[in-house]
Structure 1
Amino acid sequence: MSKNIQITTIGGGCFWCTEAVFQEVKGVEKVVSGYAGGNAPGKPTYREICSGLTGHAEVIQITFDADIVSFEDILVIFLTTHNPTTLNRQGADVGTQYRSVIFYHDTNQQEIAEKVIANVQAYYADKIVTEINPLPIFYDAETYHQNYYRNNKSEGYCEYVITPKLATLRKLYADKLV
């Protein structure tokens, strides 16, 4: 069976949260936590990213089958499972590394991202501040960041931040989840 495999790169705060969300979505083949959008020479480390000095955002790169889940659906889920109206902040996480961003891989993704943001804006009182930028170099995050929620469900951050986010995801998008 042929698949319509596509890739997108998005950041909505801590990559542990966004990774956990998209690992639940039907049609998502792979989710890799990483960094993009900065200007440090070479591959940045988590410690460098957390300093806020490199300009990188915590992002995830999603490989998905567009015949099962569309790019539009990916973006709607993304924009409604984090707060796209807060600049450089998600909850207690503050800094440019936590900005809301869509790194498009081609002009079609750029156009779709612009349309989806325009459509979703009606659901928010405040202006959506999600950046839409061409994908720069994507760097995989360190191994211990991959599958973080799945490997650390009982950790405090996971229990208090990610588990409730996943409960909301299941209420809103039950038909789109595995």
Structure 2
Amino acid sequence: MTSKKIEQLTVGCGCFWCIETIYNEIKGVEKVVSGYSGGTVPGKPTYREICSGLTGHAEVVQVTYDANIISFEDLLVIFMTSHDPTTLNRQGADIGTQYRSVIFYHNDAQKNIAEAVVKKVSPYFENPIVTEISKLGEFFEAEAEHQDFYNSNQRQDYCTIVIDPKLAKLRAMHADKLKN
């Protein structure tokens, strides 16, 4: 039996509920935690503070995964194809720096892979990719009501209108990467 090779990925692409739901579908993903990162104010921010756009934090997810099952590169390709990385500080109706497209790398190897993936996928987009690639600072776990949001709220309009189409796209584009 092969031992696990546990690593982490931290990304943001609009509301964390969407990308959390997507990564929870992927083989090799052990845990997905919604949270905040990239801010400039001291202390642990709250959702309300984040939504003001004044803290500099982005809504992100921190994904713990087994690199023997899914690679960092594959997780980033899924990330880049699960949102519009060409819109600055915006995803759909979500507008503000807290909704920016961002990859927070944990080490230089992740930074190099992130830069290569952005370059690799950019020809598939009509407009230039504006995804920020920055070193991870502090990660703050979001409040309990933001964790596993989709599974607790599947009938809410946001889930049916915004998240369900993203899941359909994921299932069509990355079927080979999904949990059974």
Q: Per the shorter chain, which TM-score range?
A: over 0.9
Letter paired with 1:33: S
| Counterpart for residue 7 of structure 1 | 8
| Counterpart for residue 40 of structure 1 | 41
Q: TM-score, normalised by structure 2?
A: 0.98
SS of aligned partner of 1:128: coil
1:86: Cα distance to partner? 0.2
1:114: Cα distance to partner? 0.3
| Counterpart for residue 166 of structure 1 | 167
Moved >2 Å (runs of 4+) = none
| Counterpart for residue 144 of structure 2 | 143
Q: Distance in 2 between matches of 1:32 and 1:155?
A: 21
Q: Deviations over 1:38-63 (max 9, x none)?
A: 01210000000000000000000000
Q: Deviations over 1:77-121 (max 9, x none)?
A: 000000000000000000000000000000000000000000000
User: What's the Cα RMSD here?
Assistant: 0.5
| Counterpart for residue 114 of structure 1 | 115
Q: Distance in 1 between matches of 2:13 and 2:101?
A: 4
Q: Distance in 1 between matches of 2:28 and 2:128?
A: 30
Q: Distance in 1 between matches of 2:114 and 2:147?
A: 26
Q: Distance in 2 between matches of 1:171 and 1:80?
A: 11
- Map residues 9-158 of structure 1 onto 2, 5 A cutoff: 9-158=10-159
Percentage of identical aligned residues: 63
Q: Distance in 2 between matches of 1:169 and 1:2?
A: 28
SS of aligned partner of 1:117: helix
Size of the aligned set, in residue pairs, is 178
Letter paired with 1:18: I
Q: Distance in 1 between matches of 2:158 and 2:41?
A: 28
Consecutive unaligned residues of structure 2, counting only runs of 5 or more, are: none
Q: Distance in 1 between matches of 2:81 and 2:139?
A: 24
Letter paired with 2:152: N
SS of aligned partner of 2:174: helix
